[in-house]
Amino acid sequence: MSLQSRHLFTLFLTLHPAFELGQTPAGSRRTTPYFETAAPQHAWLNQIVAVAQGGRRPGGVEYEVFEIL
């Protein structure tokens, strides 16, 4: 999927299914997002390892994304 930053740069996001660690709320899923961008302001996203939890919500899709340090 592609996202657009407030600075009008395109960010590409790929969500890969993650293995289960405990229970998730109904309708929720865990994933490992990968980012790709050529925008210098957001290039740090190309290097991070992240996990996310979320899913479909009324009116769209919502994920909480956390960087693994």
Confidence of residue 20 (pLDDT cuts 50, 70, 90): low
Q: What is the pTM of this model?
A: 0.69
| Structure-token pair, residue 60 | 């769209």
Where along the chain do its domains lie?
2-68
In the 8-state DSSP scheme, what is residue 7? T
Across the range 32-38, mean pLDDT stands at: 91
| Closest C-alpha among 4, 9, 69 to residue 43 | 9
Tokens of 69: 């340090």
For the sheet containing 49-57, what is the strand order? 2-4, 10-17, 29-36, 49-57, 60-68
